[in-house]
Structure 1
Amino acid sequence: MKLPVVAAAFAAAFLTTSAKAQDVSAGERSWNKCRACHQVGEGAKNLVGPQLNGLFGRHTGAVEGYSYSTANKGANITWDEAVFAEYIKDPKAKIPGTKMVFAGIKNDKEIADLTAFLKQFDKDGKKM
């Protein structure tokens, strides 16, 4: 009698994980919304926004040579998946006073895919 319960729990967990699976290719397509202001990859430079290599685990205002807003420098945030998801939905709500002018990405799946794309790049822009 316990086996059907375990099987049902496993199936539910698998389906939940599959439904939320990150799609790097879709994330790369979503990246097109970002690339006018940001770069990522080997040789990435700061543009209107900072380069985004090694974003996850980095502290706000930490990219050398980029002129951050006072709000961003003082935000005291370390980027992780949850913080990035909240930020990218509405940058000005997460960091009031940021100079990032972007309406945001509201779709959770698209955010997860973009996150997967960005997480490929280490601090030097090499794909991990």
Structure 2
Amino acid sequence: MDDRFNTMAGWALFAGIIALGGTIVSGKIFHGGRPEKMGYAIEGVEAEGGAGADEGPGIATLLASADVAAGEKVFGKCAACHTVNQGGANGIGPNLYGIVGKPHASIAGFAYSDALKSVSGNWTFEALDAWLKSPRAYADGTKMTFAGLGNGVDRANVIAYLNAQGSNLPLPAAEAAPAEAAANAAEPAANAAEPAANAAE
């Protein structure tokens, strides 16, 4: 009986030594230090939301060529939380019928976050553009968890679609191109110099 116990104890001790040795060796080979660069990029995924996601034309220029039908498709990302039909029920988010031009946090029966209640003014085209780009940047503390639309064209299309759902406000004038704006600024100076040149002549 003692021999059997000694044999079992010996094998248990041997297994413990092997396990300890394996742990030490694996620790030398596979060390768990903090990597220099955290995470890795996933190819083919477009970053959405966040400041500086796109530096293209302003919303007024994009709205001039916005596509309402394309906006309806992009709105599919919003449809899980929002209705947009007249008299539609509030869901996770408020009903958005006629939202363009309305004051912030003004849809009856919806429990808005204090963050959005504290934002003054109306849902202008510019305000909706900023909100859709990054809700958290627009109203820090908002209950809306959507990351935002990084593509300015998508935002313009959605805004045009929302505007067509009961608001129908006139779209803002497109911004002048930089070269055109510079030429327009130089024109008054040239016109002012012309009488002086004529007088000298």
TM-score range, shorter chain: 0.7 to 0.9
Q: Is the 8 A contact 1:20 1:109 kept in 2?
A: no
**How much has 1:19 moved relative to structure 2?**
9.4
Provide the rounded CA distance (Å) in 1 between the counterparts of 2:148 and 2:71.
Answer: 15
TM-score normalised to structure 2 length = 0.50
Where in structure 1 do 4 or more consecutive aligned residues deviate above 2 Å?
Answer: 17-20
1:89-116 deviations in Å (ceiling 9; x for gaps)? 1000000111001010011111111011
Q: Which residue of 2 aligns with 1:99?
A: 143
Q: Which residue of 2 aligns with 1:60?
A: 104
TM-score normalised to structure 1 length = 0.78
Gaps of 5+ in 1: 1-16, 124-128
Q: Is the 8 A contact 2:131 2:138 kept in 1?
A: yes
- Structure 1 residue 89 and structure 2 residue 129: aligned? no
Give the paired residue count. 107
**How much has 1:42 moved relative to structure 2?**
2.6
**How much has 1:77 moved relative to structure 2?**
3.0
**How much has 1:54 moved relative to structure 2?**
1.1
Q: Which residue of 2 aligns with 1:30?
A: 74
Greater helix proportion: 2
**How much has 1:55 moved relative to structure 2?**
0.9
Q: Summarize the alignment of residues 1-128 of structure 1 with structure 2, pairs less than 5 Å apart.
A: 21-122=65-166
Query: For the aligned residues, what is the CA RMSD?
Result: 1.8
Percent of aligned pairs with the same amino acid: 36
1:42-64 deviations in Å (ceiling 9; x for gaps)? 33110000010111111111000
